[in-house]
Amino acid sequence: MKNLIMFWARECPHCKRMMPLVNRLEKEEDISFEKLEIWHNEENADLMRSYRDIIAPKCGGQLRTPTFLNKETEDVLCGEVEYETLKEWTSK
Amino acid sequence: MKKYWRCFVCNDIHYGVKPPEQCPTCMVLNAYVEISPDEAKKVTNPSGEKFDREKFLRAIEEFAKKNEFQVNPDQEKVQMLLEGLFNNEQNHGLKYCPCRLITKDPDEDLKLVCPCHFLVHETYQNKEDGECWCGLFVKRR
């Protein structure tokens, strides 16, 4: 099983839009994201900050939500994207 | 380094590297004296009045009026973002963007306070349907 994280925020509209797409992808492709909320959970926030050097260069220099991270390959996808883009990213 | 300055005539407060030569409120020249952050806080908000959601929304609508952007017409999205901004102010001290995370570097994190300088963001710049990171502000069509 791939080691995938989705960093998301409770009041982030982009995350709200992406969540059903992520859930659909999990069902259809038999993969699983560890979904970590970052504004109301300090442990999750610290974990996201610990990946700053990997995430920020690929996300406009910022720690944005949603951010998808493959912990093994350190590949990153951030922001609101289409279903097919997310699917393609997870299949890498 | 930015400091607080108070007009000795009308108590106008300025936060900046240096004071304005002329007070924009009472128009007096060379009227500013440096003060402490505590004094600035007491002068600007003596009763500790809260800046609530409705007031903030009116303020950003007024701010947007004079610019090329507007507050997102999608009310549901705006309300969700306001919830996030005010939760962040309560839990983390300032109205940080709900779609980004603070780094814990105070100077860096000031760039995340709403409204941020989104005109330079890749989601806004050179885009017909540009918007700020979170979508609270959108380019006026």
pLDDT at residue B55, as a whole number: 95
Q: How far is residue B93's CA from residue B87's CA, in Å, rounded to a whole number?
A: 9
A13·B134 Cβ contact <8 A? yes
- The counts of H helices and E strands in chain A are 4, 4
pLDDT tens-digit map of A53-84:
999 999 989 999 999 999 999 999 999 999 99
DSSP-assigned letter for residue A57: G
CB contact under 8 A, A65 and B101: yes
Q: Which residue of A has its CA nearest to B85?
A: A11
**pLDDT digits over B113-140, tens only?**
999 999 998 899 988 899 999 999 999 9
Between A66 and A92, residue with greater pLDDT: A66
Per-residue pLDDT at A1: 67
Do B77 and B57 reside in the same domain of the chain? yes
Residue numbers in chain B where pLDDT is lower than 70: none
Predicted local confidence at residue B122, as pLDDT: 87
Same domain? For B32 and B99 the reply is: no
pLDDT value at position B108? 93
pTM: 0.91
CA B102/CA A46 separation, integer angstroms: 10
Residue A52: pLDDT over 80: yes
- Residue B28 burial (CB < 10 Å; 0-12/13-18/19+)? middle
Q: Which domain holds residue B30?
A: 3-44
Report CA torsion sign: B40, B46, B48, B50: negative
Same domain as B79, residue B17: no
Query: What total of structural domains would you count in chain B?
Result: 2
Say if the Cβ atoms of A39 and B84 lie within 8 Å: yes
Q: Do A13 and B77 touch (CB under 8 A)?
A: yes
Q: Which residues of B touch A61 (CB under 8 A)?
A: none
> Is the reported ipTM for this assembly greater than 0.90?
yes
> Would you call B87 and A38 a contact, using CB atoms and an 8 Å cutoff?
no
Q: Please state the φ and ψ torsions of residue B104, each to the nearest 5 degrees.
A: 80, 10
Chain A contacts to B (CB-CB under 8 A): 7, 9-16, 38-40, 45, 48-49, 52, 60, 62-65, 79
pLDDT band at A2 (very low <50, low <70, confident <90, very high): confident
Q: Would you say B95 and B84 are in contact if contact means Cβ atoms under 8 Å apart?
A: no
| B68 & B30 share domain | no
Q: Are strands A33-37 and A4-8 parallel, antiparallel or unpaired?
A: parallel
Q: Are B96 and B102 in contact (CB under 8 A)?
A: yes
Number of domains in chain A: 1
* Residue-number span of the structural domain to which A75 is assigned: 4-90
CATH number of residue B38's parent domain? 2.20.28
Nearest to B101 by CA among B118, B117, B115, B88: B88
> What pLDDT was estimated at residue A92?
80
pLDDT at residue A40 greater than cutoff 80:
yes
CB of A39 closer than 8 Å to CB of B101: yes
Euclidean distance between CA atoms B7 and A83, whole angstroms: 56
**Does B91 contact chain A (CB < 8 Å)?**
yes
Chain B interface, best mutation among A7, A14, A16, A39, by max B CB count within 10 A: A39
CATH number where A52 lies:
3.40.30.10
pLDDT tops 70 at residue A15: yes
